[in-house]
Amino acid sequence: MTYFHSKLFFYATILCTILLLQSSKNGYMLFTTAQYVPPSATRLTSLFPHLNFNQDFSPVFGGPYVQIYGNGSNANITLDKKSGSGLGSKNHYNYGFFSAAIKLPTGFSSGIVVAFYMSNSDLFPHNHDEIDFELLGHQNHKDWILQTNMYGNGSVKTGREEKFRLWFDPTTQFHEYSILWNKHHIVFLVDNIPVREVIHTPAISTAYPSKPMAVYATIWDASDWATHGGKYPVNYKYAPFVASLGQMEMGGCIYNPNDISGQSCSKSSSPSSLDPVEGLDFVKLSNQQIQGLQWVRSRQMIYSYCKDKRRYKVLPPECNT
Ligand SMILES: *[C@@H]1O[C@H](CO)[C@@H](O)[C@H](O)[C@H]1NC(C)=O
Ligand SMILES: *[C@@H]1O[C@H](CO)[C@@H](O)[C@H](O)[C@H]1NC(C)=O
Ligand SMILES: *[C@@H]1O[C@H](CO)[C@@H](O)[C@H](O)[C@H]1NC(C)=O
């Protein structure tokens, strides 16, 4: 360290100490849980009808590991050494609001993925669309990482991942993970707070999901990548791992396979409007939602593909706007 730098360091330390003292005097404590109280959020959840796990979903794998209870209002999905498990919606939807309340497995969770996502790889194996919430287990007890991602029209060569630390313990209570998807934007929300917005600009239009998708909730073993790139695999000594699901909420346009254009797909009923995600409240974020988005992204975001120049020599076009 040069003389100049050590002087600089000395003054910087003093300045920091003064700031710390100042802030605790004002009753605002740095580095305490105070920073984990997010700004208030407009409630989008509870505007839409609830789906029933018995009627509107079916197991997609690990059938015996899917346990539906509460007369279809809740489901537990389980992973153990033999199998993971998951549910998928019977219908496909062309745009809408899709939400699940999820409580994650407690205890040791490395290598596990609990996903709430939309996909149409069954209908369009070569040019599918996908919108993902992936909750990634962690080597530390209780620390789960939230990853979001999307693919459009088969854009599988370009991962558009973003990762966030959660501002709560996701294993003690249910929290709401929601996707708002219309032709204007895709918004990922956690407890109604937007964590990511993908605006449908010309730059991203070829990779923007625009075909009907089904909704899935799954738990599986992703030992080879989920936790620090595969450094910490699933430890089955702690199995079974159980994720609980509830409040499966959906407002959207049910896709009718006999009408491939999707133009006349029937809207599922909604208490607030006929076309639940086209109204003013859904085509752009409110100022309050923007504040929430900025709060999350400035404090909790730990990875964005748009900043990963080692991975992308040329960043995807939407990153430059
Ligand atoms: C269970 O759910 C079905 C379908 O949603 C409903 O018709 C029925 O009344 C419910 N039964 C009870 C006991 O809540
Ligand atoms: C999606 O991909 C298909 C086939 O790969 C192509 O014909 C079509 O034009 C693409 N659509 C968009 C919106 O890019
Ligand atoms: C579902 O899983 C939770 C753990 O998240 C457990 O406490 C509960 O007993 C399970 N319910 C059923 C019906 O299996």
Ligand 1, atom 13, residue with closest C-alpha = 71
Q: 124: Cβ–Cβ under 8 A, 6 or more apart, which residues? A: 154, 211
| Domain extent at residue 148 | 44-255+273-320
Q: The domain spanning residue 142 has which CATH number?
A: 2.60.120.200
Whether 10 maps to a domain, the answer reads: no
Cβ 244 under 6 angstroms from ligand 3: yes
35 CB burial (10 A radius; 0-12, 13-18, 19+): middle
Tokens of 205: 């239009």
> pTM value?
0.86
Whether the CB of 153 sits within 6 Å of ligand 2 = yes
For residue 72, tell me if it sits in a domain: yes
Q: Does residue 270's CB lie within 6 angstroms of at least one atom of ligand 3? A: no
Token reading at 15: 């300045």
| Closest listed ligand to the CA of 102 | 3
Q: Within a domain: residue 17?
A: no
**128 alpha carbon, closest ligand:** 2
How far out from the chain centre does Cα 245 lie? Answer: 14
Q: Which residue, judged by its Cα, is nearest atom 12 of ligand 1? A: 71
Residue 318 annotated to the active site: no
Nearest CA residue ID for atom 11, ligand 3: 76
* 73 pocket-lining for ligand 3 (C-beta < 6 Å): no
- Closest atom of ligand 1 to 72 CA is 2
72 lines ligand 1 (CB under 6 A): yes
Q: Is residue 180 part of a domain?
A: yes
| Residue 19 included in any domain | no
pLDDT by 10s per residue, the chain, length 321 = 444 454 444 555 444 444 444 444 333 434 444 457 888 888 888 888 899 999 999 999 999 999 999 999 999 999 999 999 999 999 998 889 999 999 999 989 999 999 999 999 999 999 999 999 999 998 887 789 999 999 999 999 999 999 999 999 999 999 999 999 999 999 999 999 999 999 999 999 999 999 999 999 999 999 988 888 888 899 999 999 999 999 999 888 888 766 655 444 555 444 334 456 777 778 899 999 999 999 999 999 999 999 999 999 999 999 986
By the 8 A CB rule, do 199 and 295 touch? no
- Closest residue (by CA) to atom 8 of ligand 1? 71
Domain count along the chain:
1
93 assigned to some structural domain: yes
Q: Give whole-number Cα distances, 287 to 112, 194, 205, 282, 284, in Å.
A: 36, 11, 25, 13, 10
Give burial (CB, 10 Å; 0-12/13-18/19+) of 198. buried
Q: Determine the distance separating the centroid of ligand 3 and the alpha carbon of 244, expressed in angstroms.
A: 7
In a domain, 118, yes or no: yes
Domain-located, residue 1: no
**Residue whose entry in the numeric block shows the structure tokens 């796990």:** 53
In the reported structure, the alpha carbon of residue 70 is separated from the centroid of ligand 1 by a whole-number distance in angstroms of 9
